[in-house]
Amino acid sequence: MNSNNLDNLLEDKTILITGGTGSFGKACTKELLTQYKPEAIRIYSRDELKQWEMKNEFSQFPNSDILRFFIGDVRDANRLERAMKGADFVIHAAALKQVPACEYNPTEAIKTNILGGMNVIDAALNCSVEKVVALSTDKASCPINLYGATKLCSDKLFMQANNYRGSKNTAFSVVRYGNVMASRGSVIPLFKEQAKTGTLTITDEKMTRFWITLEQAVNFVLTSFPIMQGGELFVPKIPSMKITDLAKCIAPDAKFIVTGLRPGEKLHESLISPDEAVNTFDIGDRYFIQPMMMERWVSDWDKYPQVIKVPDDFEYNSEDNPDYLTSEQMQELLHRFTHEDKSSKIPEVAQIKS
């Protein structure tokens, strides 16, 4: 990805991040402050304490005066539209994402993940936002839990929003990636805590997962802006690892207790299902899935680094992924996760490949 394209695209622009006080939002804000020159960064979230903490944390940056904090919920359409007025780009990261919580509170998950997504779309159209990227999850591919099902609905809403934008030039796209190492709820902090006891809980010894660092996730989202035309669902090329191998990297001498799969939990994760392959293209450092039904699909293929149609029987899952992390590579990532220099440049997504 040509970084100059992104530099030019973001310069003097106003960017709004929903769920901006979360793990992704904070990492994205730091990258925008340190590597680009936006006019303003708007943080939209519902927790005033997290906003206060984030404001204090980011006050160390000399250009922190471009940060704007808006208290609000994506469920509140009026407040969301007020916060979005004058924004050029929107990154929609707000979601209820804990699988057990969504299963126990299904209507709340629907209100935030689906209806909240609809509010983001409507506000972006009403405010003539230029581009919107919505964050998704591997659990939205062949979903078996409510969280994945709500995100699949959200993905469809954002992709098809390009169909009914009318005379508006707003473009909507989605990014779907796997487990983020430094995000809240990751198994890595759990294993680190359990390692103190000498015993780690494993749901299934055959389980595999995709892995991406928080910094790489941010880079993937931002570098989708220059190439997106509206309607694409972008998927990064990232490595897999067995959960048992991850556990051994964290606590090589610990004992394992197999507890069995939890409700709504998959043995292996999918980023592109076989049914999606017919609409999937390889464009270098990532894949994209074009919408199944879109009258206004813009086929300007020159905008992508390369375009190769994947086979119709293609599937991208964490078990059959040809790219697996070695123990040494995971140890390096864990070391960066714990000790990395916070001022360093975020690596390109491709650098995660072994």
- Active site residues per annotation: 139
Instruction: Tell me how far apart the alpha carbons of residues 134 and 132 are, in angstroms, rounded to a whole number.
Output: 6
User: Residue 138's closest CA among 238, 38, 46, 10?
Assistant: 238
Maximal C-alpha separation, the chain: 62
3-state DSSP call for residue 173? Answer: strand
Helix (H) / strand (E) element for 85: namely none
CA distance 221 to 93: 11
SS (H, E, C) 30-69: HHHHHHCCCCEEEEEECCHHHHHHHHHHHCCCCCHHHEEE
Phi, psi of 271 (to 5 degrees): -105, -30
Which residue, 40, 35, 67, 66, is CA-closest to 53?
67
Strand partners, 174: 134, 233
Task: Work out the angle at residue 91's Cα, subtended by the Cα atoms of residues 134 and 141, and round it to the nearest 5 degrees.
Answer: 20
Q: Which two tokens stand for residue 328?
A: 């040494």
User: Is residue 103 left, alpha or beta, with left meaning phi > 0 and alpha meaning psi from -120 to 50?
Assistant: alpha
Are 327 and 243 contacting, i.e. CB atoms less than 8 angstroms apart? no
314/331 Cα distance (integer angstroms): 31
Residues 6+ apart with CB under 8 A from 146: 99, 102, 103, 106, 109, 264
| φ, ψ for residue 45, nearest 5 deg | -160, 170
